[in-house]
A = this chain, B = another copy of it.
């Protein structure tokens, strides 16, 4: 793990997109988050550094401190951006006279969040602890709680389940099998080969299922099945755990 930045390849690529591109635009919270997100996508969350960001922007590290109180706030800003990219499904498909049940709506709801997180998988984990810090996140949370209340859960249970739902989809997005994010695919690919080799050298009589399952998991069908199973696990669990509702929603 060398940390010397001798290779300026990827850094330059990002440079040209912003500062070195001639039109030296003003710094702002938005542009900073933009370039942070580009950096996350290209080199992972650990690469996001005040100094690195400033350098890419052609600016002094301290310049960023005018726009964000500290690094934590910058990360909050990234999370907020991800959450504001979520487009929630329209509330009422009111044309039908038969209302869609809460579980299929919850499914669509979670799918919408997943779609936004998948755009920047390496940053997805940030939102887990930062949902309540932006209005976008609060809107999402409020919707989730409404759906869970509709399912019959009380306030405390709804809060817990909403948290678990978020955790589950973040986990799904961050550990999607085909996903490679790091500095370059080459290095990660090698790491994966090493890991696989280590697994295959295990005593097969002791870990038969581990060896078979991991291989099957990495081979991985399409991501469609992956997310479907992950989501259905949660939804079906919620359905099973939900207490009986007091009367189905009145059909007007």
A220 at the binding interface (Cβ < 8 Å):
yes
> Which of the residues B172, B230, B241 comes within 8 Å of A233, measured between beta carbons?
B241
The reply to whether the CB of A65 lies closer than 8 angstroms to some CB of chain B is no
Residues of B within 8 A of A229 (CB): 157, 160-161, 241
A230 to B163, CA, bound (A): 10
* Given A156-B213, A159-B216, A206-B142, also A240-B236 (CB < 8 A): yes
Asked whether, in the complex, the Cβ of A145 is within 8 Å of the Cβ of B209, the reply is yes
A208 to B138, CA, bound (A): 11
The verdict on A15 contacting chain B, using a C-beta distance below 8 Å, is: no
- A residues lining the B interface (CB < 8 Å): 1, 70, 72, 132, 138, 141-142, 145-146, 149, 154-164, 167-168, 171-172, 175, 195, 199, 202, 206-210, 212-217, 219-221, 226, 229-230, 232-241
Q: Which among B141, B142, B213, B236 is the interface contact of A241 at CB below 8 angstroms?
A: B236
Copies of this protein, total: 2
Which one of B207, B220, B226 contacts A142 once the chains associate, using CB atoms below 8 Å? B207
Does A210 contact B155, Cβ atoms closer than 8 Å?
no
Give Cα A199 to B131, complex, Å.
Answer: 12
CB A137 to nearest CB in B, in angstroms, measures 10
Cα distance, A234 to B160, chains bound together (Å): 13
Contacts A199-B132, A237-B236, A238-B233 known; A142 to B221 CB distance under 8 Å?
A: no
Whether A213 contacts B167 by the Cβ 8 Å rule is: no
Known A-B contacts: A142-B207, A146-B209, A237-B240. Give 11 more (CB < 8 A): A145-B213, A149-B209, A155-B215, A155-B216, A156-B221, A159-B216, A161-B229, A167-B171, A171-B171, A233-B238, A233-B241
- Nearest residue (CB) in B for A237 is B237
Please name the residue on chain B nearest to A230 by beta carbon.
B164
Q: Are B233 and A132 in contact (CB under 8 A)?
A: no
Chain B residues with CB under 8 A of A214? 132, 159
Whether B240 lies near A210 (C-beta < 8 A) is no
- Which of A146, A175, A213, A241 has the most chain B CB atoms closer than 10 A to its own CB? A213
Q: A239 — nearest CB in chain B belongs to which residue?
A: B240
Central interface residue in A156, A172, A221, A232, by most chain B CB within 10 Å: A156
Check B241 against A159 for contact (C-beta < 8 Å). Answer: no
